[in-house]
Amino acid sequence: MRKTNEVEQLIYLFSKLPGLGQRSSRRIVLHLLQEKEVRLKNLMDGLALAASKIQICEICRNIDSHNICHICTTSDRNKSIIAIVETVAELWAIERSGNFNGKYHVLGGALSASMKKSPDSLRLPQLLERCMNHGVTELIIATNATLEGQTTAYFITEYFRNYNLKISRLANGIPIGGELDYLDEGTLSLAIALRQPFD
Amino acid sequence: MRKTNEVEQLIYLFSKLPGLGQRSSRRIVLHLLQEKEVRLKNLMDGLALAASKIQICEICRNIDSHNICHICTTSDRNKSIIAIVETVAELWAIERSGNFNGKYHVLGGALSASMKKSPDSLRLPQLLERCMNHGVTELIIATNATLEGQTTAYFITEYFRNYNLKISRLANGIPIGGELDYLDEGTLSLAIALRQPFD
């Protein structure tokens, strides 16, 4: 069938977004075109505003409307502790947990041979400079519990080994609400090995 | 946590699109912001082009870059047969099937008390005018096999009862690849009642 080029192109663009395929993109495009003046216009305005305002923080690579992000700027947070995350998605996830009041370093992804992500791109020298000159005492390595994330974690640990820094990483174990029967063996075996005493 | 207003707003806009929620919208927005100059810009351009070009066909309410759509314009298609569909999504679905060479009438949705879709919005007088003055002999009612779709189908059938038109609707039965054990009882019972002789 022949859809118009503009519609085809828009469906194609949406289908390249993470989590979307042909069918979901078609639905979205039709939804947008159905009330073009409102829906399509609102989305265009939102995108234009983000395009013009959003910048990447010079210090931690968070995204923000200022070139130093609000987390790096504020004095309300503990600047002696830095959580190292793969991307802004993980930064947001930790912020949602509400249990961290330090600062961040966003790596921009995990090390991976296939994706051609090199150690240079992690900006570890800049992080080291922050640690040395701005009173940082602890690094929490909060990379994902994937092969790439763990590889990256070891690499970072090695990098900072000879400096006077406390280096920790997120606990592994059974997620809250997790049922043992449905859990993978690796996690369960780790949870047994790392069992904690009742207080 | 406090994301910037622009990012929050963009996530909100995406989360209102069909099939997307908070989490998938966050992923999409981060993906777009990651390579702002390319990804975000391409999507904005695509939306802007669609916004400026796409129109709703005056005759059938298909969407197209002309105010009479390519299906209504072409002489390659059989203009004596019209398929009545709920929305452009169903028009596209029928076009993908490759087994229909007539024209269309897009209702703009099915009748529904709760969604406040009224019979007036179906534009049946305009369709009747098309039938009377442009040599239409058959209407295929291709509404969805849902309660609303079937109600709409009966309503349309009643509307056109006293005119000299052949009115048909899509066959019900077992979908290709369907396994009887997994099929709902309604479809199976219908498939038995409507069983067809081997040729």
Residues of A in Cβ contact (< 8 Å) with B14: 43
Q: Least CB-CB distance to B30: which of A46, A88, A96?
A: A88
Whether residue A114 has pLDDT greater than 80? no
Q: Are A28 and B17 within 8 A, CB to CB?
A: yes
Q: Are A9 and B33 within 8 A, CB to CB?
A: no
Residue A108 C-alpha, separation from nearest chain B C-alpha, in angstroms = 9
Q: Are A53 and B4 within 8 A, CB to CB?
A: yes
Q: Are A28 and B47 within 8 A, CB to CB?
A: no
Q: How far apart are CA B85 and CA B99, in angstroms?
A: 15
Task: Mark A174-198 as b/e (b = at least 16 C-beta within 10 Å).
Answer: eeeeeeeeeeeeebeebbeeeeeee
Whether residue A86 has pLDDT greater than 50? yes
Q: Which long-range contacts (CB under 8 A, 24 or more apart) does A9-14 make?
A: A9/B46, A9/B49, A9/B50, A10/B46, A10/B47, A10/B49, A10/B50, A13/B42, A13/B43, A13/B46, A14/B43
Q: How far apart are CA B84 and CA B185, in angstroms?
A: 27
Strand ranges of the sheet holding B166-169, from the earlier edge strand across to the other edge: B103-106, B81-85, B138-141, B166-169
Question: Where are any strands of DSSP class E within chain A?
Answer: 55-56, 63-64, 81-85, 103-106, 138-141, 166-169
The model's pLDDT over B87-142, given as tens digits with 9 standing for 90+, comes to 999 999 999 888 899 999 999 989 987 767 788 889 999 999 999 999 999 999 99
Q: Are A24 and B19 within 8 A, CB to CB?
A: yes
pLDDT at position A60 is 94
C-alpha dist (Å) from residue A30 to A24, A135, B91: 10, 54, 11
Residues sharing a CB contact under 8 Å with residue A3, sequence separation 6 or more, in sequence order: A11, B92
pLDDT at position B180 is 85
Q: How far apart are CA A108 and CA A56, in angstroms?
A: 11
Q: Are A26 and B89 within 8 A, CB to CB?
A: yes
Q: Looking at the domain that runs over A76-169, which CATH code has it been given? A: 3.40.1360.10
The percentage of chain B sitting over the pLDDT mark of 90, rounded to a whole number, equals 66
Chain B interface, best mutation among A9, A12, A16, A17, by max B CB count within 10 A: A17
Residues of B in Cβ contact (< 8 Å) with A47: 10, 32, 40, 43-44, 47
**CB pairs A-B closer than 8 Å:** 142
Domain A7-53 falls in which CATH fold? Answer: Helicase, Ruva Protein; domain 3 (1.10.8)
Residue A55 C-alpha, separation from nearest chain B C-alpha, in angstroms = 9
Model confidence at B184, pLDDT cuts 50, 70, 90, reads confident
Residues of A in Cβ contact (< 8 Å) with B5: 65
Q: Name the residue of chain A whose CA is nearest to B9's CA.
A: A46
The ipTM assigned to this model is 0.79
Q: Which long-range contacts (CB under 8 A, 24 or more apart) does B18-23 make?
A: B18/A24, B18/A27, B18/A28, B18/A31, B19/A24, B19/A27, B19/A28, B20/A28
Which of B118-122, B141-145, B174-178 reaches the highest mean pLDDT? Answer: B141-145
Q: How far apart are CA B183 and CA B79, in angstroms?
A: 37
3-class DSSP assignment, residue A46: helix
Q: Identify the residue whose tokens are 């090695």.
A: A158
Amino acid identity of residue B152, one-letter, is T
The percentage of chain A sitting over the pLDDT mark of 90, rounded to a whole number, equals 66
Instruction: Provide the CA B149 distance to its chain's centre, in angstroms.
Output: 11
Q: Are B95 and A1 within 8 A, CB to CB?
A: yes
CA atoms within 13 A on the CB side of A77: 20
> Per 3-state DSSP, what percentage of chain A is helix, strand, and coil (rounded to 5)?
50, 10, 40
Q: Where are the domains of chain B?
A: 5-53, 77-169
Q: Name the residue of chain B whose CA is nearest to A3's CA.
A: B64
Q: Name the residue of chain B whose CA is nearest to A1's CA.
A: B95
Q: Are B53 and A95 within 8 A, CB to CB?
A: no
Amino acid identity of residue A147, one-letter, is L
Q: Least CB-CB distance to B46: which of A13, A41, A92?
A: A13
C-alpha dist (Å) from residue A26 to A15, A20, B109: 8, 10, 16
Which two structure tokens, joined as six digits, stand for B48? 């802007």
pLDDT at position A3 is 63
Residues sharing a CB contact under 8 Å with residue A41, sequence separation 6 or more, in sequence order: B51
Q: Are A19 and B17 within 8 A, CB to CB?
A: no
Domain B5-53 falls in which CATH fold? Answer: Helicase, Ruva Protein; domain 3 (1.10.8)
Question: Per CATH, is B77-169 categorized as 3.40.1360.10?
Answer: yes
Q: Are A2 and B42 within 8 A, CB to CB?
A: no
Task: Say what angle helices A41-53 and B41-53 make with each other, to 10 degrees.
Answer: 150
Chain B interface, best mutation among A35, A40, A54, by max B CB count within 10 A: A54
A24-28, A120-124, B112-116, range with the lowest pLDDT: B112-116
Which two structure tokens, joined as six digits, stand for B122? 């179906």
Residue B87 C-alpha, separation from nearest chain A C-alpha, in angstroms = 9
Whether residue B2 has pLDDT greater than 80? no
